[in-house]
Every structure is written in C-alpha cells, then in structure tokens.
Amino acid sequence: MKKRYFAGIVTSLLLTSSILGACSSEEGTTGKSENVENVNKTGMPITKEKIEVDGFGAKFFASQDWNKLMLWDEYAKKSNIEVNWKTVQVEALVEKRNLMLAAGDYPELFFAAAFPKTDLIKYGKQGVFLPLNDYIDEYAPNFKKIMEEYPSVKQGVTMADGNIYGFPAIYDPKFESLQVGTPWIREDWLKKLGLKEPETTDELYTVLKAFKEKDPNGNGKADEIGFGSGYNIAPFIDYLRGSFGLNKQGVMNKNLDFKEGTEEFRFVPATDEYKEILKYLNKLYTEGLINQDVFSTEPQKFAAQASKGTVGVLSDVDPNTLYKLDGYVGIPVLEGPTGERSYNAMTNGLGNLGMFVLTDKAKNPEALVRWIDYLYGDEGTKMFFMGFEGVTYEEDKDGNFKYLPEVTDNPDGKSMDQVISEYLTWPGGYYPGIVKQKYFQGAEAKEASVQNAKKAKPYAIKDEDIIPGLNYTLDENDEVSAIMTDVQTYIDEMTAGFITGKQDFSKWDDYKKTLDKMKVQDYVKIAQGAYDRSKSEK
C-alpha cells in the first residue's frame, strides 16, 4: 500500500502487523459507566453536560499544540467533550507510550498511538485497555457499518479472546492511489540527459548513476542524490519486492510468502531473493546513489534536503504537493534480474489496528466511543481531513470539496502539509478513521498520484491473492511475540549492515544460521498452522 512511511517506528510496526487474533467465544462484556445518563445516543452534542478527559497523542509537527488546534477546539464545541492533550512526536512514540504504561501513568484515551496487535492483546488481557465490543455495538454505528461492508476489518480488529481493543486506520480499497504507487523520478532530468524511464533494475542503476555524475540540475555542483528517502530503507525494499519475486501474496504478513507453486510459507528475510535485493541496494549505496544517511535521518530533516530539488528519485508521495517540486512522475514497476515484474507491496486496506484505545481510567467510555466513531462517518471524516469551510476548504456547486488556494499554493511558500498542520492533525499519517477519496485531498489524491497508480496497477497483484493478517491464538501470539521481537531487531540490524557494507555477504549463511537459532522456523510453523486454519474456516 502506498502510504507514508514513518521514521524510527515503522520497522517495529511491520513486525507486529501480522499478529492478528482469532475470534473465540470468550468475548468480554462491559458494564455501563456511572456517567452514561449524560450521553446522547445520537446527534450532537455527544454529552448533555460538558466533560473533560485526558488524552495522549502522537504528532508529526513539533510546533503543533493540540490544546490550541482548531480541529480539537471546534470538535469540543460540537461534541461537548474537551480533551486535554499531552503529545509526543512520532519518532519518540514507542518509548514514551511504553514508559507511561509501565509506570501506570497513562491517560483515559490514546489517539494516533499506533499500538501493535501484541500490545492490544497484552494490555487487553491485563485489563488496562477496555474491551470495546459492547460499546461499538451500541455507540459506534459508523464503525459497525464499515465492519459489515468490509469483513476483513472486523476480522483484523478482533483479538484472540474475541474482543476489540482498538480502533484502526482504514484505507478505502476503492481509493486506488492509496493502494498502489511507485516512487517518483525526475522526468526533466531524464530528458536533459537523454535517458528514458528505467524499465529494469539494471536501467535504474544506470539512471541513478547518471543523475549523480552528470549534473542534471545544471548548477555545476555534485550535489545530486540518486535515490532518496527520509523513512529508512523500507520503501526501497517494498518497491523492489515484486522485481525480485518476493511477497506474491502481499505484505499483510511481510516476513512470509509462499514457496513457489505451494501454499507453504517461507521466511522472507532468509531467502535468496531477499539477499539479491540487499546486494542490489548495497551496490547503489556503496556507489553513493542512495542518500548516505538513509538509516539515520528523520522525515523533516530529509524534507529540507528534498525541497532543494536535488533528489532524482523520491520514495514518497507526490513531490509537488509535499515539496512544491515540479518535474516528477511515477517510476515504472521494474523488471528484475530474473524477469520478475510485479507490484507486490499490497494490503487489504486495513492499517494499524491500535490507533485509538480507551484505558481503564476512562470515566466516560460510552461518550468517547461516540466521539471516535464520528471520525468514521462522512461528516467527521470531512472535518478531520478537510477542516472547516471558508478556512481550509471550499465546496463547489457539484458538491466537491477542495482546499483553498492559500493551502495548496501558500503565499508564504509553506508546503500544503505545513499549512494544514496549523489546523488539523492528519499530516504525517498517524490517525484512526477511514481515508476516502472524496474527503481526502492530500498528495495521494492529486492527479499525479492517480496517474502513478494507473501506471503501476497493471503490474499489481490481485486483491484475491492478498493473504489477510493471520489469526493467532493467545498462546501462539505470546510465542510469536517472544520469537519475533528479537528476530526483527536482528533483521533490521543485518539488513542495514549488508546494504552499507559493514556486513560482508560472505556472512549470509551465518546470518541464516543465527535466524534458525532464534527459532524463526518455529514462527513459520505457527504461521502455517494459522493459515491452514483460516482456509478450513472459510
């Protein structure tokens, strides 16, 4: 899926995105709170008398003060619910939320907290996170409707004990440019150097080398970067998976795919194909064709570099929207060294599962479930992503919404994300809710992104070939978590080592042996059992 990557925590989230719970008959029931009489079951305001609650959220822009942000001020007036926010930047989210929970010093609600499924199960079992099933049934008509329309959403958010502990991010499967899309290449540089768009991995290498060495920006300086990312190496690897024959079943279970011609799992980071991706990226990196700080830079720092127009290929969303840069087009899906050519970085539209949770400190859970459910309906979605009419957007005579010119073409030279962040929280990509094309006018909705998706779509794997997140029992989940936490850290370290050259590829067999010692085959066996169960349950 073509959504923004987030520095620092993305890899840890990928590890746990496949740890999905199987339904059982042990669903918890939740009694009504003592404040339920203050809740209106429909309409606004949500509560008859104003209430205040403590919330914690992850933000992308350091300058944002959520306690003074128009989004939350206006929603408080509408709902009669005022959230007193404490926030942290996304780079420090995992450490901060873990410290809060360990110390017992946590709020009534977590918003944009990106809890992995393992944490939802862990803290749900401990009673720290509230089971939401009954509240959803009675107070969340918008979210219920989505689960009915997309059964994979209900399957994904339901834990092994039958409970739902979090509200997720959902990406409307009908919104193709969110689902499919490749990195962006400077078409003007190609034309200046007399090059065509690369169609193979070898041709991409040739193009990147020319970008670096032949001064396509014409300033007489060797300041061009071939391939750049502010979100670690994951976007590069995802783009290349289909060119090297990996993940033909999509990336809902990113560390797993089928052995060719079978329905038997193999462990992707130990495959020869993964090794070949790393060797290819090592060639690019050691020749200076990838930004050399790719493993350490942060998104906003890289954005400052990218905004100078010195990066030939960007693994992000539309550079015109993000950086006000013209000349970029979607790069083709590449044919790899063995003739493989497909776009495999596909999901079923279900994003992070723990974007919103309620804790056992919540004194008004009914009201807060209504509060979050509003963001899954059309009016709430419009408010969250478009903002406020006359301030951030306008509506035309046909009922279409678009941002005002001062947002998209700011006279002070600010990017659209920078302007939007003065009013709303969605820039950066951390939120619960559903992203629909009608109400989302970010970079992925722009015409350039739509054309990028159309270009890549013929090579994308089919929706029916995507394996949803696997359903583990509670015991299996504990075992998978115990195995994969350290394994993922080791994979990340060795991936970086092989690409940068700090680890020689003569050590590949040692790397695989270490993975075996860390019990990855036990993980594969558990995953296989979960997959086989899912087939028998259909």
Which pLDDT tens digit goes with each residue over 244-293?
A: 999 999 999 999 999 999 999 999 999 999 999 999 999 999 999 999 99
What pLDDT, on the 0 to 100 scale, is given for residue 10?
A: 35
What pLDDT, on the 0 to 100 scale, is given for residue 15?
A: 35
Which pLDDT tens digit goes with each residue over 254-268?
A: 999 999 999 999 999
Which pLDDT tens digit goes with each residue over 433-483?
A: 999 988 998 778 888 888 999 999 999 999 889 998 887 887 888 899 899
What pLDDT, on the 0 to 100 scale, is given for residue 9?
A: 33
What pLDDT, on the 0 to 100 scale, is given for residue 538?
A: 58
Decide if pLDDT at 4 tops 90. no
Decide if pLDDT at 29 tops 90. no
Q: How far apart are CA 284 and CA 169, in angstroms?
A: 34
User: Is-contact 15 485, C-beta < 8 A?
Assistant: yes
CA atoms within 13 A on the CB side of 269: 28
Average pLDDT over residues 516-527: 98
Token pair for residue 196?
A: 């065509």
Average pLDDT over residues 143-158: 91
Decide if pLDDT at 1 tops 50. no
What pLDDT, on the 0 to 100 scale, is given for residue 537?
A: 64
Decide if pLDDT at 155 tops 90. no
Compute CA distances 479 → 22, 391, 484, whole Å.
15, 51, 8
Which pLDDT tens digit goes with each residue over 166-209?
A: 999 999 888 888 888 999 999 999 999 999 999 999 999 999 99
Mean of the per-residue pLDDT values of the chain: 91
Alpha carbon dihedral 55, 58, 62, 66, in 10-degree steps, equals -30
Token pair for residue 94?
A: 């995992």
The pLDDT confidence band at residue 487, using thresholds 50, 70 and 90, is very high
User: Quick one: CA dihedral 521, 526, 529, 534, positive or negative?
Assistant: negative
Which pLDDT tens digit goes with each residue over 340-387?
A: 999 999 988 888 999 999 999 999 999 999 999 999 999 999 999 999
Decide if pLDDT at 306 tops 60. yes
- The answer to whether 46-176+350-407+427-440 and 181-345+460-538 have equal CATH topology is yes
What pLDDT, on the 0 to 100 scale, is given for residue 6?
A: 35
The pLDDT confidence band at residue 161, using thresholds 50, 70 and 90, is confident
Q: Where are the domains of the chain?
A: 46-176+350-407+427-440, 181-345+460-538
Choose from 121-125, 269-273, 416-420, 445-449 the range with maximum mean pLDDT: 269-273
Average pLDDT over residues 115-139: 94
Q: Please state, for a pLDDT cut of 90, what percent of the chain lies above it.
A: 74
pTM of the model: 0.79
Q: Which CATH class is domain 181-345+460-538?
A: alpha beta
User: Is-contact 40 46, C-beta < 8 A?
Assistant: yes
Select 46-176+350-407+427-440's CATH number: 1.10.10.60, 3.90.1210.10, 3.90.470.10, 3.40.190.10: 3.40.190.10
Which pLDDT tens digit goes with each residue over 69-118?
A: 999 999 999 999 999 999 999 989 999 999 999 999 999 999 999 998 88
Average pLDDT over residues 36-51: 97
What pLDDT, on the 0 to 100 scale, is given for residue 212?
A: 97
Token pair for residue 248?
A: 């033909």
